[in-house]
Amino acid sequence: MRRGGRALGVTVVLVAAIAVIFGGVAAADDYGNAPVVTVRMTDNEFTPQTVVVDPGTVVRWVNVGRNKHNVVVDVKSSAWTSSKSIKAGKSYDHQFNDPGVYGYSCSFHGAAHQLMYGTVIVRNADGTVPSEVTEQAPKPRASGARTIRVPKDQKTIQSAVDRAAPGDLILISPGVYHEAVSVTTDDLVLRGTDRNRVILDGEYKLDNGVKVLAADGVAIENMTARRYKSNGFFWTGVDGYRGSYLTSTRTGDYAIYAFDSVNGRFDHSYGSGAPDAGFYIGQCFPCNAEITDSEAAYNGIGYSGTNAGGNLIIHDSVWHDNRIGIVPNSGDGEKLPPEHETTIVGNLVYRNNNAKSPAIDAARLGEFNGILIGGGNDNLIVRNRVHDHRIAGIAIVPNPDTTLWVSNGNRVEDNLVTKSAIGDLASAGGDGNCFVGNTFTTSKPADIEQTMPCTGTGIPAADPFDIGPFLEARKPPSIDYRKAKTPPPPTLPGMKHPTTAKAQPANHIVVNVDIAAIQVPKLPSRLR
């Protein structure tokens, strides 16, 4: 079932249902003895999302996340201007003197009243709360779905998106488009006519290639994004998404990304040159999502999945030359921990030892491993081909975030793992992790399939895997994503018949993979 429709306005109804935060933090000198309330900015939300204050109160936004944020007011006024970028660890203040309802958002991770947004309600002088309701009706549709061509019908992709209604196809001709496209309309299909020649270029000045904000069923197909300060393509807060035949390279955060979203698919896509992940699916359960026939290279992390799982299947894809390969993980920065129930099957994972990649701290922490479960539970790692890693081929370890997330109940079965410096297979701590039927040479602890069998009782470990030295080791620094030696993406196959194929919104995604039919991939002869 899809999530219900979303009004574009904000409705203030029951004050009792709103989080009320009172002062408790010492006021800044500039505001005398004015009370101060704090709103925390994590990587994808304001907490609390709504505050109710008296006139004269200072609201202080503190960035406790990893990414930069800002506070952008919904309606420009002389009383309140938007902030500049707020880096991690920094804050921004504003004193509210006039009663009213003030909406705001982060332009990097949301839009007005969608996803990363918030509201400040300033009481009247008599202590009552203003009642202000604004709504915007959806665009009427006089006929069926239509095709809007760029630049024939609309000069820019954004203008085409702004004029589209649910179900429309936006068909983009070859060219370089210096745009940051924001999509808030359900069931659109954005399609390039040539994957390698329809290029969104941020010139290291714009934030995102295409961002889909709380718009269900949006599919993006057959195009390239490059040189954006944040992400190539991302969906956030949606039910139904698809990215097909996409290429993303040299972006300042992620390449291809879905957050707080369910019922989705990434296929036939390529992500490179990102300090975080080439592909990311986070904060969902059950996710009902898959990544297939895709490739991630020269990123900090090939695949990262924080607090995501439940019919989440990563299969038949290639992960190479990242700092670290595939990393399902649990973390405190997002909701729904711990990560659990991800299936990793039939992937080729090799040579993720790239010390000269752009890399976030987590990528540096877990570098030089092929498949790494970091504090995740009940995952299945089966029939993958993993080759040439400076630490471990497949490893199960805890993730030392604010919480120490321990990995439990993971099953590693029938994988073929070679040429790992410390151990083809490795496991540290946790309960119920097991190994069976794998082809390998070395492991930590030794005899890992006898120490941690999937049936019966294991023998004591003579040499437990101590991850302490790896956590404490000096890590190669991250390279600026703009300057890293990221090879240009190869010329990649695009979708068939892009100018005539029927538009298929992502509103009926079904993830039903025959896992038993997927085989161990072959190792290319050039790597043997």
Q: Kindly report the three-state secondary structure assignment for every residue of 240-287.
A: EEEEEEEEEEEECCCCEEEECCEEEEEECCEEECCCCEEEEEECECCC
Edge-to-edge strand order for the sheet containing 256-259? 181-183, 208-213, 231-236, 256-259, 277-282, 301-306, 324-329, 369-374, 392-397, 423-427, 443-444
Nearest residue to 109 via CA among 291, 325, 254 = 254
Q: How many domains does the chain have?
A: 2
Distances (CA, A) of 526 to 167, 297, 350, 392, 522: 45, 17, 12, 21, 11
Same domain (yes/no): 162, 295: yes
Structural domain of residue 118, as residue ranges?
Answer: 15-122
| Helix or strand holding residue 161 (H, E) | helix 157-163
Same domain (yes/no): 175, 213: yes
Same domain (yes/no): 344, 293: yes
Inter-residue contact 214 to 184 (CB < 8 Å): yes
Same domain (yes/no): 207, 85: no
Residue by residue, DSSP assigns 141-159 as --SS--EEEETTT-SSHHH
Same domain (yes/no): 98, 169: no
Same domain (yes/no): 181, 275: yes
Same domain (yes/no): 118, 167: no
- pLDDT given for residue 373 in this prediction: 98
Same domain (yes/no): 354, 403: yes
Q: Which of 472, 505, 523 is the last residue of a domain?
A: 472
Q: Is residue 128 part of a domain?
A: no
Q: Which of 472, 492, 521 is the last residue of a domain?
A: 472
Q: Is residue 510 part of a domain?
A: no
Q: Which residues contact 66 (CB under 8 A, 6 or more apart)?
A: 43, 88, 333, 360, 361
What is the DSSP pairing of strand 114-122 with strand 100-111?
A: antiparallel
Inter-residue contact 223 to 200 (CB < 8 Å): yes
Residue 77: exposed, middle, or buried by beta-carbon count in 10 A (0-12, 13-18, 19+)?
exposed
Same domain (yes/no): 82, 163: no
- pLDDT given for residue 225 in this prediction: 98
Please report, for the domain that includes residue 367, its CATH number: 2.160.20.10
Same domain (yes/no): 79, 179: no
Structural tokens at position 479: 């390279």
- pLDDT given for residue 110 in this prediction: 62
Q: Phi and psi of 443, rounded to 5°?
A: -155, 160
| Residue 247, amino acid | T
Q: Is residue 268 part of a domain?
A: yes
Same domain (yes/no): 158, 81: no
Q: Which residues contact 377 (CB under 8 A, 6 or more apart)?
A: 330, 338, 339, 340, 341, 407, 408, 409, 410
- Buried residues in 475-507 as b, exposed as e (16+ CB within 10 A): beebbebeebebeebeeeebbeebeeeebbbbb
Inter-residue contact 168 to 147 (CB < 8 Å): yes
CB atoms within 10 A of CB 449: 17
Please report, for the domain that includes residue 56, its CATH number: 2.60.40.420
Q: Which of 424, 443, 472 is the last residue of a domain?
A: 472
Same domain (yes/no): 248, 386: yes
Q: Is residue 135 part of a domain?
A: no
Q: Is residue 370 part of a domain?
A: yes
Q: Is residue 27 part of a domain?
A: yes
Low-confidence ranges of the chain (pLDDT < 70): 1-30, 75-79, 109-115, 131-144
Q: Which three-class secondary structure string do you get for 303-363?
A: EEEECECCCEEEECCEEECCCEEEEEECCCCCCCCCCECEEEECCEEECCCCCCCCCCHHH
Q: Is residue 88 part of a domain?
A: yes
Q: Is residue 139 part of a domain?
A: no
Q: CA–CA separation, 180 vs 243, rounded Å? A: 17
